[in-house]
Structure 1
Amino acid sequence: MPIKTILLHMANDDRHGARLQAAVGLAERFGAFVEVLYVATPVSMPAAVTGRGASYGYIAEATAIAHEKAEQIEHEVRQALKDCSYSWAVVEGDHVELLAERATYADLAIVTQSQGDSLDDRVVLHVPDRLPLETPCPTLVLPHDFAPDAAIGRHAVIAWKNTREAGRAVRNAMPFLQAAEKVTVLTIDPPGHTLDSGRDLMVWLERHGVRSHHQANIHQGGDVGEVILTCARDLDGDLLVMGAYGHSRLREMVLGGATRTVLGQLALPALMSH
């Protein structure tokens, strides 16, 4: 399916500009409409804020500040998207729930990687990069330190395993794959594996006009997510395509997993589908 509607998550945070620039570049590339959803509710609060009353007071104050900043950020959006079609809305509430409600009508959603695990002085209230769990719309998760002018999709790396989630991610990524200069199918197989686990996908991609290369790895132990990120870095990829949360949600939350590792240590944009 072509990308004709992009849902852009905006908030009063220090990474909204990088998301905006990514959306501009993709809207121009695909001729897409951008639906900008500015969520005024704070994503986190200082850990020093304790007690229900203090928490409510901080959230109310931070929300009011975000509303005051809305006009300034809307001006940034208007300038950046002046050559694109877009809409702008200001809402309050749970970031993931609000995004998921609108993502049903989008072809791609853009969020930023959460940094809650590394911010000891903050209490995380909302985790936007959980969006891939909540919607059929593919989600492009940008690294927290993503540079606004960085490329997305010049070299796409597909973390491939024959699962529903991975298959959906590849289909959703087809506009990126068809436009990429290089596509690599990355497989991570158990010891003793002798079959060419990337061949069938590569044949299917070829029929869609996508030439690809196979990077086969034998898993010698350790976290699969770390192996995926290391391979993507060594291959100089600038877009990771992968299925999200192949195990049950409870298993992923309690025991971790490749998706959780990738989201926690993300170093390149990741297009994820569940």
Structure 2
Amino acid sequence: MTKNTVLACIDGSLSSTGVCDYAAWASLALDAPLVFIHVLDQQHAQPRGDLSGNIGLGSREHLLDELAELDEKRGRLMREQGRLMLEAAVERARADGVPEPLSRQRNGDLVETLNELEHEIRLLVIGRQGEVGDSVGQHVGSHLESVIRTMHRPILVTAGEFRKPASVMLAFDNSATTRKGVEMLADSPLFVGLPIHLVMVGADTNDAWEAINAAKNRLEKAGFEVHVNIKAGEVEKVLMDYEQEHDIDLLVMGAYGHSRIRQFFVGSTTTNILQKTSRPVLLLR
């Protein structure tokens, strides 16, 4: 896999088609190679429980051999299923206009695999829900949360079917992460020609306006149409209301700005927004 790759994680979930299409869009906009990856988690590939203790002494060896054969067959079937999913993803990306999409299949843990590949990734595209998450609505799984916490690359989390972005909202709080986000928006070909909404949640003060207007000026110098707003209220509600009111297609925000202990008691803005939004979220670290 070459450097500066758009890496898209696919599995058997309903979110995989959206992942394919958003990854193809990003690959074309960034003029970056696109690679689809399917990680076969060996832990989840094994049957639940150890049945050997329930097998009688006389038949134990024979049945253990049969169980081993079933495990091997199940592993082959899961690898074949993954291969077919990757082939379908490559064909879909070609239909979207990507000239040479590639695919990789790996065994192991998803988070560990992505960490190993991190130095080659320009943008990671992953669905909000995995195969298990499809059955629980807007659930944000622990795998996704772990990926977001450990990766240091931009992560595009998709939700639902593809809709080509025609507007972008940056949740701006004047932190180092969101100031870096302003520079990324200004310089990245991913957002060329899109109107950008800068939304700050907090008190309407001179300092707040100074910070957000500085960000606005930077983006306007880069040629963007920019809308700025400072609104008081609860962060998730303000951002979600604004997203719906202005029909925003892509939300950009920092990921997990507080400690794990604080999140345990009060929750995480990142997780809450991922659960509530029906649009893709680009997370910055």
Instruction: Tell me, yes or no, whether TM beats 0.5.
Output: yes
CA contact (8 A) 1:160 1:242 kept: yes
Uncovered stretches (5+) of structure 2, i.e. residues with no partner? 52-67
1:87 to 102, 105, 108: 102
Separation (CA, whole Å) in 2 of partners of 1:226 and 1:117:
24
Letter in 2 for 1:203: N
Letter in 2 for 1:193: T
TM-fit CA distance, 1:245? 0.9
1:107 to 102, 110, 122: 122
Find out whether 1:14 has 2:29 as its counterpart. no
Identity across aligned pairs (percent)? 18
TM-fit CA distance, 1:124? 9.1
TM-fit CA distance, 1:250? 3.2
Match of 1:233 in 2: 244
Separation (CA, whole Å) in 2 of partners of 1:75 and 1:118:
22
TM-fit CA distance, 1:214? 0.5
Match of 1:201 in 2: 215
TM-fit CA distance, 1:62? 6.8
Match of 2:263 in 1: 252
Q: What value does the CA root-mean-square deviation take over the aligned residues?
A: 3.3
TM-score scaled to structure 2, two decimals? 0.77
1:138 to 150, 154, 171: 154
**As a proportion of its length, which structure holds more strand?**
1
Name the SS of the counterpart of 2:121 in structure 1: coil
Letter in 2 for 1:268: R
Find out whether 1:211 has 2:225 as its counterpart. yes
Separation (CA, whole Å) in 2 of partners of 1:26 and 1:147:
15
Q: Rate the CA distance shift 1:43–1:13 in 2: closer, same or farther, 3 A.
A: farther
Separation (CA, whole Å) in 1 of partners of 2:174 and 2:74:
45
Uncovered stretches (5+) of structure 1, i.e. residues with no partner? none
Q: Rate the CA distance shift 1:96–1:198 in 2: closer, same or farther, 3 A.
A: same
TM-fit CA distance, 1:66? 2.7
1:50-65 pair list within 5 angstroms? 52-53=49-50, 64-65=76-77
Equivalent pairs, count: 257
TM-score scaled to structure 1, two decimals? 0.80
CA contact (8 A) 2:194 2:225 kept: no
Letter in 2 for 1:151: K
Name the SS of the counterpart of 1:203 in structure 2: helix
**As a proportion of its length, which structure holds more helix?**
2
TM-fit CA distance, 1:226? 2.8
Name the SS of the counterpart of 1:53 in structure 2: coil
Question: Bigger shift: 160-169 or 249-258?
Answer: 249-258
